[in-house]
């Protein structure tokens, strides 16, 4: 367990990781991506009733007007440890993962706990598109058009009580559909994450149900996943089945495994290195990756007031 805790695969220093560019050129980029696109589209196609939800109108308020990351990279280079620790292979292993119908429970310290179907809720709340910068703790980043709804629209339906200080999120745990679970038996599954209630209620905090104008591909966290753009990507938990209001800071998977490496707050901050690598810059993924300076709160300075 100690070894696993200290050395999960994503802790490999970036300099030791095969550049994805090289990986794909070695493996015949065209062939690999061709297969990837085939599987990705199987993953992303939802029932016919979904079709009119996508693409959703882009909200001009959340549009940094910078070049988007190549779609095949954003949907082909994934962290989803329930399937595999190999980013390039997640999309090949999600075939058995059933994401429709999908029930989510909202419970804990609230006046109106409820359960909902993920696809019905998309219809009920309505969807918009937001372009966000996304920064992984591993020092890579992307710029992605997410479709979804502001998380607080959902949370308010439950009428959280005054003593609800945190929100805990749980990913589905389906061992028969998620081959990676058995390969990391010492991890405290299911994958969990948490936010302070004011962070969860912030207008930037987004429940994403799609990407690039289509329903969410399974490898990106279908049918609904969090996107918290000023925090490292591990806070953006995928394939959520439960949302719980709590009065104590919740345990989360990465924080339980290695609290010094993955703090609960985990705001993007170039001045605070990860214990084993710098966070001063990041590699923007794509066919021609570029290295750019990392910016505090990933550039979302409007959240600074939350941390005074
Ligand atoms: N959620 C679950 N359930 N399992 C995971 O392994 N990985 C996290 C986050 N959410 C992860 C998860 C990490 S480390 C990152 S960087 C992002 O998902 C990656 O999202 P993407 O694959 O859509 O780029």
Instruction: Return averaged pLDDT per consecutive 10 residues of the chain, 308 residues in all.
Output: 34 36 35 34 44 92 94 98 98 98 98 98 98 98 98 98 98 98 98 98 98 98 98 98 98 98 98 98 96 98 97
| pLDDT at site 120 | 97
Can you name the residues that pair with 131 across neighbouring β-strands? 145
Is there an atom of ligand 1 within 6 Å of 141 CB? Answer: no
For atom 14 of ligand 1, the residue with the nearest CA is 234
Nearest CA to 249 out of 200, 194, 202 is that of 194
Question: What is the CA(233)–ligand 1 centre distance, in A?
Answer: 6
Name the residue of 71, 80, 254, 261 whose CB sits within 8 Å of the most ligand 1 atoms, as the mutation to test its pocket.
80
What is the rounded CA–CA span in Å between residue 106 and residue 292?
39
Atom of ligand 1 at shortest distance to CA of 220?
23
What is the rounded CA–CA span in Å between residue 180 and residue 236?
19
| pLDDT at site 263 | 98
For atom 9 of ligand 1, the residue with the nearest CA is 234
Query: How many Cβ atoms sit within 10 Å of the Cβ of residue 55?
Result: 13
Atom of ligand 1 at shortest distance to CA of 171?
3
DSSP code per residue over 10-30: GGS-GGGSPPHHHHHHHT-HH
Domains of the chain: 19-307 (3.90.420.10)
Is there an atom of ligand 1 within 6 Å of 191 CB? Answer: yes
Is there an atom of ligand 1 within 6 Å of 220 CB? Answer: yes
| pLDDT at site 51 | 54
Q: 18-46 burial, b if ≥16 CB within 10 A, otherwise e?
A: eebeeebeeeeeeebbeebeebbeebbeb
| pLDDT at site 10 | 38
For atom 24 of ligand 1, the residue with the nearest CA is 78
pTM comes to 0.86
């Amino acid at each position: 367990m100690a070894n696993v805790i200290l050395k999960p695969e994503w802790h490999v220093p970036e300099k030791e990781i095969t550049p994805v560019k090289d990986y794909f050129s070695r493996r015949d980029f065209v062939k690999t991506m061709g297969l990837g696109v085939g599987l990705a589209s199987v993953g992303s196609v939802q029932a016919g009733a979904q079709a009119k939800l996508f693409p959703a109108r882009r909200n001009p308020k959340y549009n940094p007007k910078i070049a988007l990351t190549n779609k095949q990279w954003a949907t082909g280079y994934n962290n989803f440890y329930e399937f595999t620790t190999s980013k390039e292979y997640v999309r090949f292993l999600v075939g058995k993962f059933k994401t429709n119908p999908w029930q989510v429970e909202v419970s804990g310290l609230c006046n109106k706990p409820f359960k909902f179907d993920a696809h019905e809720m998309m219809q009920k709340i309505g969807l918009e598109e937001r372009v966000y910068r996304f920064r992984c703790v591993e020092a890579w980043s992307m710029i992605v058009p997410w479709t979804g709804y502001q998380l607080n629209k959902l949370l308010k339906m439950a009428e959280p009580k005054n003593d609800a200080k945190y929100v805990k999120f749980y990913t589905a745990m389906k061992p028969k559909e998620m081959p990676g679970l058995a390969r990391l038996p010492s991890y405290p599954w299911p994958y969990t994450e948490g936010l302070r209630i004011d962070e969860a209620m912030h207008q930037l905090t987004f429940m994403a149900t799609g990407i690039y104008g289509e329903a969410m591909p399974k490898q990106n966290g279908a049918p609904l996943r969090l996107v918290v753009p000023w925090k490292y990507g591990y806070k953006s938990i995928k394939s959520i089945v439960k949302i719980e209001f709590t009065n104590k800071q919740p345990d989360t998977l990465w924080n339980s495994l290695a609290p010094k490496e993955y703090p609960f707050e985990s705001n993007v901050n170039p001045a605070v290195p990860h214990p084993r690598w710098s966070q001063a810059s990041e590699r923007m993924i794509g066919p021609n990756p570029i290295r750019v300076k990392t910016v505090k709160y990933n550039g979302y300075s409007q959240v600074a007031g939350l941390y005074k």
